Amino acid sequence: MRYYVAEESEIGDGERRVVSCDGKEIGVFRVKGRLFAWHNRCVHQNGPVCQGRIYNRVVEPVAEDGTTRFQEYDAETFHLVCPWHGYEYDIETGQHPGNPRVRLRAAKLEIEDGSIYVSA
């Protein structure tokens, strides 16, 4: 069974649609023009990760002399953060930035005639 989510034009950059497919929840995100679909289950404790806030990745530049001063945001990397406990995932790869083995489960995403479908 596949499920109709939205028209492709309805999800702008940085936006999402989190849907229930007969009880199985999937989040569809658009980042840098591309669409990604993840199951709404954090690998940590099954939290509703797709309903979390989106942050740019935090980085800490290290100067040539080994010192650091301030933290910064990486403008090119977007993290989805589980609202239960704060587990962060790169929206494009589904991987946790601190442990790539911790990763979201991808949902099958299809675009057909401008319509977005997912399979649970």
Name the residue nearer to other proteins (CB basis): 44 or 93: 44
Smallest gap, in angstroms, from Cβ of residue 97 to other proteins?
13
| Beta carbon nearer to other proteins, 3 or 93 | 3
Minimal distance in Å, beta carbon 47 to other proteins? 6
Write the DSSP assignment of 94-113 as a string of letters: -EETTEEEEEPPB-EEEEET
CB-based burial, 41-79: b 16+ in 10 Å, e otherwise: bbbeeebebbebeeeeeeeeeeeeeeeeeeeeeeeebbb
Q: In whole angstroms, how close is the CB of 2 to other proteins at the nearest point?
A: 5
User: C-beta of 16: minimal distance to other proteins in Å?
Assistant: 6
What residues line the site for other proteins (CB under 8 A)?
1-5, 16-21, 25-26, 41, 45-48, 51-53, 55, 81, 83-86, 88, 117-118
- Residue with smaller CB distance to other proteins, 76 or 110: 110
Q: Strand locations in the chain, DSSP E?
A: 2-7, 16-21, 24-31, 34-39, 54-59, 72-81, 88-90, 95-96, 99-103, 108-112, 115-119
Q: Which is nearer to other proteins, 53 or 69 (CB)?
A: 53
